[in-house]
Amino acid sequence: MKRVLVFAGITLAILCQLSCSPDEQQTQSENPITDNSTGVLNAPRFVGDVVLENMYEDEVRKLASKTPLELITVLEGTSKVILQARLRSVRDNGPFGTPVYECELIDESAEIAAGMSGSPVGPPGRVMGALAFAYSYSKPPYRFLVTPIDYMETAIEHPTLGEFLEEEGAPGAPALAINALYGPVKTPMVITGIQPHRIPELSSHLSNSKFNFVEMFGDIGGAPAAPPVGATTQLSAGDMIGAAVVTGDVTNLIGFGTVTQVYEDKFVAFGHPFLADGKSALPIYRAVTHGILSRLVLSTKSVSAYGTPIGMISKDLYPAIVGELGEGFIVTGSKEEQITIKVGDIGNGGLPIEGLE
């Protein structure tokens, strides 16, 4: 009888091993947006689009200090998660001459990272603004500043410089007055096709104040890839997007941030400017997150763009960027222009490489 029980136990163990699903593991590896963020991050995950109701300044001012809030962002793949935060105060002297909301991230499963700018913040089901500024070298709980949704919405109808020159008496944009304790949660601009040791040479050309809200990273990669399995072109609050400055076979330069709110065929994002260009026409891509890269000053998301453009940035202003959705967005210029670039070899005295243009 004892031998029978031992034999039965061995048989059950073998059956359990055979029932462990290598097919399931293979399915997960084939789907680059399938993630286990719920288990690893201990944060609930959204399924489908996120719909949030705006919460304006007069209502936010009635909230008590330490009121629980939710921050919605992507930490892995394209799945949005809720991170727990709370309100600390309303500050009237904000970075753009407007009020801002001082909050803190109390969720132990994540930290503030570059690429989170634009992440919607508010009570459950509401959005009162976008994560935009944070305190560098900080420890948990992480303090951050929120740009109110009120002022981000005004950017939709705010005249840009191109429109401003055509109209007399148009109001100017708010003045910049950043509190030195906080800095922007910068938009990571990922450049591929250029060796990292060349980045310092490029940095010498990026001293203009228009680059205060971006940080450039040299990385390995190419043009936006094919959409991951199960990916959607629909956009909702909390999604990651990429604003493409340059795309091509060799070099790509794309800035990444988070969508705050969607208004039918328009959206607002970032909670601060991208390049502060005013009127803009940069193509927008969906993006997938490959986790968080920990850094001493401020961590950053590892992100890449995919698919084809889903719209464009039409305005790049201080409270937010404004985007227009649709594959048929207008590109400036009446026709395509081909630009020929001759590539030289520095090691050969800068002489052009024969046959390479």
What are the pLDDT digits (tens) for 97-122? Answer: 889 999 999 998 889 999 999 999 99
**What's the CA gap between 139 and 102, in Å, rounded?**
16
**What's the CA gap between 244 and 152, in Å, rounded?**
21
* Residue type at position 250: V
Nearest to 315 by CA among 284, 278, 275: 278
Query: Poorest-confidence range of 150-154, 267-271, 332-336?
Result: 332-336
Predicted pLDDT at 255: 92
Mean pLDDT, rounded, for 196-222: 68
Predicted pLDDT at 53: 97
Contact 241, 325 (CB under 8 A): no
**What's the CA gap between 331 and 315, in Å, rounded?**
14
For the chain, where do the domains classified as CATH 2.40.10.10 start and end?
Answer: 37-155
Predicted pLDDT at 257: 95
Lookup: tokens for 22: 């290598």
* Residue type at position 75: L
User: What rounded mean pLDDT belongs to the chain?
Assistant: 77
Predicted pLDDT at 10: 52
pTM of this structure: 0.74
> 67 falls in which pLDDT band (50, 70, 90)?
very high
Lookup: tokens for 43: 């944060």
For the cut 60, the answer to whether the pLDDT of residue 345 exceeds it is no
Q: Which residue has the tokens 């390995």?
A: 220
Query: Poorest-confidence range of 210-219, 261-270, 348-357?
Result: 348-357
Nearest to 149 by CA among 68, 84, 55: 55
162 vs 192 pLDDT, higher one: 192
**What's the CA gap between 338 and 331, in Å, rounded?**
15
> 171 falls in which pLDDT band (50, 70, 90)?
very low
Q: 10 Å Cβ neighbour count for 299?
A: 16
**What's the CA gap between 58 and 334, in Å, rounded?**
46
DSSP reduced 3-state for 66: coil
Predicted pLDDT at 211: 66
Predicted pLDDT at 195: 73
Q: What percent of the chain has pLDDT over 90?
A: 42
**What's the CA gap between 117 and 346, in Å, rounded?**
38
Contact 211, 197 (CB under 8 A): no
Predicted pLDDT at 190: 82
75 vs 193 pLDDT, higher one: 75
Pick the CATH number of 37-155 from 2.30.40.10, 3.90.1300.10, 2.40.10.10, 3.40.640.10: 2.40.10.10
Predicted pLDDT at 162: 54
**What's the CA gap between 269 and 239, in Å, rounded?**
10
> 21 falls in which pLDDT band (50, 70, 90)?
very low
Give ∠ CA 266-281-293 in degrees, rounded to 5: 80
326 vs 196 pLDDT, higher one: 326
Contact 70, 129 (CB under 8 A): no
> 6 falls in which pLDDT band (50, 70, 90)?
very low
Question: H or E stretch including 321?
Answer: strand 321-325
Predicted pLDDT at 198: 72
**What's the CA gap between 341 and 102, in Å, rounded?**
48
**What's the CA gap between 17 and 24, in Å, rounded?**
14
**What's the CA gap between 92 and 312, in Å, rounded?**
32
In degrees and rounded to multiples of 5, residue 51 shows phi and psi of -115, 120
Q: 81 in the Ramachandran plot: left (φ > 0), alpha (ψ -120 to 50) or beta?
A: beta
Rg (CA), the chain: 23
